[in-house]
Chain A
């Protein structure tokens, strides 16, 4: 757990040394938006920035990904045998992601990499990727990370945390991967206790700017009473059932698998799916257990804020990045839903 200083004037030296061992990704400009893309020099980084429009998840879990391929050519000895599509897993660094995104990756790990199931592509990409987070000195007005068990300088899931000082970054290594990266990197200088003190002050100040939403009562609520609560009718009215919230969300992990056949070859592809879509739960029989919008809207919030907590004794499965608040076309605000759920009492007045 070492800390070093990277002077802003030496950021390019630092980057150049990273590039000798890693592919470097970071927040870069793409049209009106900021997205994770290749970084060659310090000027490529879209700094300062609030957050990327889309979360980090596509770095580990692309929106569309070829899983398997097969031949349907009768002449081919391997016809009909499904084979894993070969992929490359270069060593990568993501430089400058926000701590909430890294925390979100650890929440998705619960689904993608657990004792029972390991998603091979997620796991390999996680192993070969080093995350260098950039703490948020100025959180957005839609951020509520500290209420969701994360924070503007949360170290969860990161290998290195950067804190921006007036003309340098304080880089704190948090894992053996981070240690190794900083040891090999050029452009670094020893950090002084004064640097550490400034960074600690910046952290405290940033945390104080964030609002506090109460989530303490979610855990003890009765699931069925929350499920049957009348407020869902009101929450769901505006929803148009698009997938903007789920696709932008760093913790939404659902996918759908499709076979695409062209001529004599086929691919098995997985694509992000969204619980907002009617097709998500449509059965082969034609029956759909979530046939109505209210059921789908409720599912999204209940999954993040109740089922996850109950199932894993952890969570909620939200990091408070505020992307869905910003992107929802009809302004359905998860912060309000959290409060509605946390404060919900049944009409009898008993604790729900």
Chain B
């Protein structure tokens, strides 16, 4: 639901990932880590929820 609300507010699908990996599932860990990295790279640098310096007067 949190992912749903973030995407509803404009965060790109693919930016946020959830997975459940047991300490015994090394292969799955590698697969998931690679998929996450690929998908996030494809989206490019994040533009949202980034605050370098407050945008105030």
Contact = CB atoms under 8 A, between A and B. Distances in A.
A62 B57 contact: yes
A262 B52 contact: yes
A330 B57 CA distance: 31
A262 B57 contact: no
Interface string B14-57: 00000000000000000000000000000000000001111011
Contacts of B54: 64, 66, 260, 267, 269
Q: Main SS of chain A's interface residues? A: strand
A23 B12 CA distance: 40
A343 interface: no
B50 to A, nearest CB: 10
B53 to A, nearest CB: 6
Interface string A151-184: 0000000000000000000000000000000000
A63 B56 CA distance: 9
A197 B50 CA distance: 60
A262 B56 contact: no
A258 to B, nearest CB: 9
B56 A62 contact: yes
Contact of B51 (A65, A262, A269): A262
B52 A269 contact: no
A348 to B, nearest CB: 52
A66 B56 contact: yes
B53 A267 contact: yes
Interface string A100-130: 0000000000000000000000000000000
B54 to A, nearest CB: 6
A266 to B, nearest CB: 10
B57 A66 contact: yes
A65 B57 contact: yes
A62 B17 CA distance: 39
22 contacts: A62-B56, A62-B57, A63-B56, A64-B54, A64-B56, A64-B57, A65-B56, A65-B57, A66-B54, A66-B56, A66-B57, A260-B53, A260-B54, A262-B51, A262-B52, A262-B53, A263-B52, A265-B53, A267-B53, A267-B54, A269-B54, A269-B56
Given A63-B56, A66-B54, A267-B54, 7 more contacts: A64-B54, A64-B56, A260-B53, A260-B54, A262-B51, A265-B53, A269-B54
